[in-house]
Every structure is written in C-alpha cells, then in structure tokens.
C-alpha cells in the first residue's frame, strides 16, 4: 500500500449532500424528503430564566444605551450672558434668560457659574478655564451661550466673533481626558443670520437650488454651511437654523429659553434629552409668533445637532 492509499484510509467519510441522499433514496424507492428529514437533528433553544431575563439584562442594557448620570452634582455648568455691546443693540430679555437657565441647571443638579458681558478674548479665556477644570468626579457638563451671533460664531461685547468650533475644541478628548465618553451639552441662544421665517406659505429658501460657489454668489451673502468638529458625546442646542434670526421678548426672554424652561420643568424627570428637545422644537414652532411692525407673523424653529452616542436621562432613577 503506497502513501497515497494510506492517507486516503485515514480520512473520515464525509456525509453525502442532501442531493446525493435524494438520489440514493430514489434508487432505493424511498421518498427523498422523508429520508433527508430523518438525518436532521432536533435543535432546542435554551430558554433563559426569568431572573436572568429581567434584572441583569436591564442593567446591561442601561449601561450600554444610557449615559451614567448619578454624580452629585451631575456636572459643572457655564453660562455666558452678553447683554450690553459696544456697537450692537442691547439684548433686552437676556437677563431673564440667564436667570431662568441658572435656576433650571440647578434644578437638574448642576453646579453653575455665570459670566456677564465678556469680550471675544475674555470668552475664549473663560471657556478655556472652564474646560480645564477637574471634571473627573462629574458625569456631565453644560455650556449656555446667550449673545448676538451669526451662522458660525457668537459675538463678544466688543463685536468680535468667537467661532463655535473654537469653543467646542476645548471640550474634545485631546484637551480634557476627564470628559471622554461623557455628555457635553451646549445651548446657544443667538441669531445665526438675518433671515426671518415667514411661515409655510412664504418660506424663503436658504440657498437657491442651482447654487454654485462663484465669486458673484459669494458677493450676494448666501450662507454656505461649514462642517462642525468631528467629536462625539456632544449635544448642540441651537435656538434657530443657520441663516435665520432668533426671537426674544424684552420682558419674558427668548422663545427658545422660555420653551426650554417649560418643557424641562414638566418632563425632564422622566424623558431623555432628545425627547425633551423634540418637545422644545414643537413648542417654539407652534406656540410663538412675532406681532406688530413690519416683521409680524414671523416664526422660528430650533436646530439641535445630536452627536450623543447614548440616551441621556437627567434622572435615570425615574426614567420610563
């Protein structure tokens, strides 16, 4: 017996395919499907116990899909309230927004610090100091910016812009390791342009459908959106969409902050952040409308940007 024959004898006999079994069954006068069914093994799925099905899976699911929000306080919060400017109009109602946001953040168990009337350089300096604080003992951080602005920046009291990108970069993983994998919340109450929303009947287009990036079009001041920093675990709560104004009442504050306070006060104990902000979108869009003057019957809708990777419940112990 040569080596090839010895190797062949050692190999196990492979079972024939269903097609071969059917051919063999037909030659023996049996029904092919009957013979093939006899070769199948019964598969039994092991059922988990009630205990392992409920309690461990719920805890694991929450750990995977929910941010941890158990620290006391929940986190540090930064509020900028720019009301008076060197060359721009006074933001009447901004103090009301600032007080309301401070009370809301304290109710959400944040430790809050408020800064008033900062120049562009001072904004960057204070934001940098805040980002470099020790956030390791907290589960979250929040930043509220109340000022004049445009599509890509807010303004200091000296009229100089501070880009949102420059602010957000202070909170990425390279600048503060303690904020890695933790939710970072930003709420911006500021105009992002001069367009006013006339409502569905006369809705103005932000850009023409045939827009091309030419020198002639750039001189027409069309807004061309730019990319935001590619960082996660961040929620950007813009009060309005790019290119549009953000409305504010001189006594009661801005539509956006009024809606935030109303919605969060009623639903923050049981709903996650994205659900809350959807309610805010609805309230701003349906409950407010400008009155009087040339800019009557104007509307507004917030424009949140969600880069969170989990659900955020401020009070997970009460969540549904």
Domains annotated for the chain, with CATH where assigned, are 74-202+226-318 (3.40.50.1460)
Per-residue pLDDT, averaged over 285-301, amounts to: 90
Identify the pLDDT of residue 296: 87
Whole-model pTM: value is 0.73
Round to whole Å and give the CA distance between 54 and 71.
26
Strand order across the 140-146 sheet = 110-116, 75-81, 140-146, 184-189, 234-238, 303-306
Closest CA to 257 of 153, 150, 151, 102: 102
Q: What is the mean pLDDT of the chain?
A: 81
Q: What is the pLDDT of residues 231-268, one digit of tens each?
A: 789 999 999 999 999 999 999 999 999 999 999 999 99
Q: Which residues are catalytic?
A: 148, 191
Identify the pLDDT of residue 266: 95
Per-residue pLDDT, averaged over 151-173, amounts to: 94
Per-residue pLDDT, averaged over 291-301, amounts to: 88
Pick the range with the lowest mean pLDDT from 59-63, 76-80, 214-218. 214-218
Per-residue pLDDT, averaged over 185-198, amounts to: 93
Pick the range with the lowest mean pLDDT from 13-22, 121-130, 238-247, 311-320. 13-22
Question: What three-state secondary structure class fits 27?
Answer: helix
pLDDT of residue 217 exceeding 60: no
Identify the pLDDT of residue 292: 78
Q: How confident is the model at residue 53 (pLDDT cuts 50, 70, 90)?
A: low
């Amino acid at each position: 017996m040569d080596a090839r024959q010895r190797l062949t004898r050692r190999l196990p006999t492979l079972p024939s395919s269903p097609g071969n079994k059917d051919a063999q069954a037909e030659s023996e006068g049996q029904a092919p499907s009957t013979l093939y069914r006899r070769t199948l093994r019964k598969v039994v799925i092991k059922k988990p116990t009630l205990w392992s099905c409920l309690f461990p899976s719920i805890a694991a699911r929450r750990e995977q899909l929910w941010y941890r929000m158990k620290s006391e306080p929940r986190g540090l919060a930064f509020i900028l309230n720019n009301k008076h400017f060197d060359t721009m109009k006074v933001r009447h109602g901004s103090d009301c927004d600032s007080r309301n946001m401070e009370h809301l953040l304290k109710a959400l168990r944040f430790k809050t610090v408020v800064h008033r009337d900062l120049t562009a350089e001072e904004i960057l300096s204070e934001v940098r100091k805040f980002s470099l604080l020790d956030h390791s003992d907290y589960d979250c951080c929040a930043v509220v910016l109340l000022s004049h602005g445009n599509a890509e920046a807010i303004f200091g009291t000296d009229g100089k812009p501070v880009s949102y990108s420059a602010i957000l970069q202070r909170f990425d993983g390279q600048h503060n390791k303690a904020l890695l994998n933790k939710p970072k919340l930003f709420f911006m109450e500021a105009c992002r342009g001069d367009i006013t929303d006339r409502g569905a009947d006369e809705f103005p287009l932000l850009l023409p459908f045939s827009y091309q990036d030419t020198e002639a079009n750039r001189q027409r001041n069309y807004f061309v959106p730019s990319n935001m920093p590619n960082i996660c675990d961040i929620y950007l709560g813009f009060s309005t969409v790019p290119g549009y104004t953000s409305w504010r009442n001189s006594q009661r504050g801005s539509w956006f902050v009024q809606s935030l306070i109303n919605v969060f006060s009623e639903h923050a104990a049981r709903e996650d952040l994205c659900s809350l902000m959807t309610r805010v979108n609805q309230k701003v869009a349906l409950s407010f409308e400008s009155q009087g003057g040339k800019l009557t019957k104007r509307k507004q809708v917030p424009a949140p940007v969600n880069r969170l990777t989990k659900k955020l419940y401020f009070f997970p112990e009460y969540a549904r």
